[in-house]
Structure 1
Amino acid sequence: MDAHLRDLRYFVAIAEELNFTRAAERLFVSQPALSKQIRQLEEGLRARLFDRDRRTVTLTTAGAALLPAAREVIRCWDEAQRVVGDAVAAEAASLRVGLSTSVGRGLLQRAREGYAVRRPNGRLQIRQIDWDDATAGLADGRVDVALVWLPLPNQEVFATRVVATEPRCVVVREDHPLAGRSEVAFAELLDEPFLALPPAAGPLRDYWLAIDQREGRPVRVGATVSNADETFAAVEEGSGIVLIAAGNAAIYQRPGTVAIPVSGLSPSELALAWRADDHRGTVRDFVETLRDASSGSPADR
């Protein structure tokens, strides 16, 4: 059986934390998903890797034997990725840009044009990432920069620059009692079922459920959604309502749904994020390009 590199990363994280909850938080995955992958790894190896009870997690003899080998495999692969990435960047100045939702607002088009001026041989590779990774691929190195909604999990390890500040709207089905309103107060929504991001999204999940504005009132989760398509399908099916940024309300207009401005909520922030220790010129050029692209735009005021 050939183990996936992801499974080895999961194994090493648990071995180092000796705690499934902390390892899941470190990896930006849910604890059930982490446990499932470890079970599959153990089944493939035909060996138990951890002894686990209610209080402690310890490596078995097999787990202790696997740990140094797993670390070496991961190190070699990370080094291979770095070498290949550097070679590609040097040749074409390409940059991988992560997104979790469509950005619109003219930002990407202006960014493409501005980046082409700074890097005539450059290329932007846009990658769509589901919401179980609120960093849009930045945390695990799948992308170089990401357009994300704040707040991020472990935000202190990233550099961020806000490119759009917008009020929040609520999306409801067209036959919802509030559908004809021009504005709704958030207090009127407290008893409604909400669509929620996956738990792995951490503080971003709480933000779009407006936990801080509920004054202790529990949230009713109608369904968990991983991307925009799932979200609007769930609204259309009547599974719940969802908060989104005003700019995205214009992008994601769907038959059968209505977006209504919501009062009593803080504005949402769309930001460019990159790893704070990434000082490559391609990253710096894109950061400056997006700064120029977002300055003075309606969404930035």
Structure 2
Amino acid sequence: MDVHLRDLRYFTVLAEHLHFTVAAQKLFISQPALSKQIRALERQLGFPLLERRPREVVLTPQGQALLPKARQLVAAWDEAWREARAAGPTFSLTVGMQTAVGRDLQREALARFRDQGWRISLRLVSWEDPTAGLRDGGSDVAFLWLPLPAPGLVSRTLVREDRWVALPAGHRLAARPTVDFADLTDEPFLALPRSAGPVRDFWLATDAREGLEPRIGTEVTSPADTFEAVASGLGVALLAEGNARLYPRPDVICRPVRGLAPAELALVWRADDARPEVAEFVAAFTPLP
């Protein structure tokens, strides 16, 4: 019987913490997604791995028997992947992103590396993985909005922009040229998934709320979800000024917000990735002072 290595990885992390929410945060996925994958794995195996009790989760005898070998398989694959990647130049890079980058940031660099014979792939990743594929190795570098979502990452800030707010057309604040954040604190906000961690907090502006918890209208996992939810009146959303221009819609009004620190868009890569092609790609982008 063949199973997906990803599901074994999920199982080993869950077995380590025996808590679905904590394990999901460690894996940078949502708790419902983790629960769904574990149940799918159990169905595929034909036996339960965990006993879900009202206040705790424990391994079944089958789960206890599987865990040591599952850990070995995951560790062996991670080691094999690192050794294969280090064996020689790949001349290919996968660039992760969660929104359109625009701003003419990457076009020149991508064209230059393609002209040199590199294979550059663009990978759009949902906000359920705030590292845009860096954590699982699916992306080599990524364009991300700071703060960094996880340890072990390095960033180079490329753009600094004011934060704006997206409002449904006809909203009481839509006619104002600029909106004070204090006038937004009672509004329902659209939130990134909890797995986004500090990035979710940044786009909810929790640091500017003086300890008050934000009202969450609904969670969103992509720009399309966000603007559709705003237009439907489910909540308002903070976004960077450049993204307000990248995603125009007649039923959504975007306005600058006073009282918030600016947002920073960065090129991000893994701190332990010493491949020369990654360093060369990063060097092609000029950091902000």
TM-score scaled by length of structure 2: 0.91
Which residue matches 2:94? 96
Deviations 1:247-283 (A, max 9, x none): 1111111122111000000110111111100000010
Which residue matches 2:66? 66
CA distance in 2, matches of 1:55, 1:171: 40
Cα shift at 1:81: 4.4
Contact 2:97-2:143 within 8 A present in 1 as well: yes
- Greater fraction of residues in helix: 1
Higher alpha-carbon deviation: 73-82 or 202-211? 73-82
State whether structure 2 residue 161 is matched by structure 1 residue 162.
no
CA distance in 1, matches of 2:55, 2:252: 47
Cα shift at 1:102: 0.5
CA distance in 1, matches of 2:51, 2:222: 36
Sequence identity (%): 51
CA distance in 2, matches of 1:168, 1:115: 32
CA distance in 1, matches of 2:36, 2:127: 19
List gaps (5 residues or longer) in structure 1.
none
CA distance in 1, matches of 2:147, 2:89: 32
Higher alpha-carbon deviation: 63-72 or 100-109? 63-72
CA distance in 2, matches of 1:173, 1:23: 36
Q: 2:216 aligns with which of 218, 221, 225?
A: 221
CA distance in 1, matches of 2:155, 2:113: 18
Q: Where does structure 1 differ by over 6 angstroms across 4 or more consecutive aligned residues?
A: none
Higher alpha-carbon deviation: 216-225 or 50-59? 50-59
Cα shift at 1:84: 6.1
CA distance in 1, matches of 2:89, 2:138: 18
Cα shift at 1:65: 1.7
Which residue matches 2:127? 131
CA distance in 2, matches of 1:70, 1:58: 17
1:78-227 map, 5 Å:
78=78, 81-82=81-82, 85=85, 90=89, 93-116=91-114, 120-154=116-150, 156-227=151-222
CA distance in 1, matches of 2:243, 2:32: 31
Q: Which amino acid aligns with 2:283?
A: E
Higher alpha-carbon deviation: 229-238 or 35-44? 35-44
**In structure 2, the residue corresponding to 1:90 is in which secondary structure?**
coil
Which residue matches 1:253? 248
Contact 2:86-2:275 within 8 A present in 1 as well: no
Contact 2:127-2:192 within 8 A present in 1 as well: yes
CA distance in 2, matches of 1:262, 1:229: 22
Cα shift at 1:128: 0.3
CA distance in 2, matches of 1:196, 1:124: 31
Deviations 1:53-101 (A, max 9, x none): 46654433211221233234334544564566567x735x111100000
Q: Compared with structure 1, are the counterparts of its residues 193 and 83 closer, same or farther at alpha carbon in structure 2 (3 Å cutoff)?
A: same
Q: Which amino acid aligns with 1:288?
A: A
Q: Compared with structure 1, are the counterparts of its residues 60 and 265 closer, same or farther at alpha carbon in structure 2 (3 Å cutoff)?
A: same
Which residue matches 1:6? 6
Contact 1:169-1:246 within 8 A present in 2 as well: yes
List gaps (5 residues or longer) in structure 2.
none
Cα shift at 1:4: 2.4
Cα shift at 1:134: 0.9
Which residue matches 2:31? 31
State whether structure 2 residue 275 is matched by structure 1 residue 280.
yes
CA distance in 1, matches of 2:219, 2:89: 41
Q: Compared with structure 1, are the counterparts of its residues 53 and 172 closer, same or farther at alpha carbon in structure 2 (3 Å cutoff)?
A: same
Contact 1:138-1:275 within 8 A present in 2 as well: yes
Q: Give the superposed CA RMSD.
A: 2.2
**In structure 1, the residue corresponding to 2:195 is in which secondary structure?**
helix
Deviations 1:2-47 (A, max 9, x none): 4322211111112233333332221012233322322222233232
Contact 1:100-1:131 within 8 A present in 2 as well: yes
**In structure 2, the residue corresponding to 1:290 is in which secondary structure?**
coil
**In structure 2, the residue corresponding to 1:258 is in which secondary structure?**
strand
Q: Which amino acid aligns with 2:203?
A: W
Between the two proteins, the alignment pairs up a number of residues equal to: 289
CA distance in 1, matches of 2:22, 2:234: 31
CA distance in 2, matches of 1:21, 1:100: 23
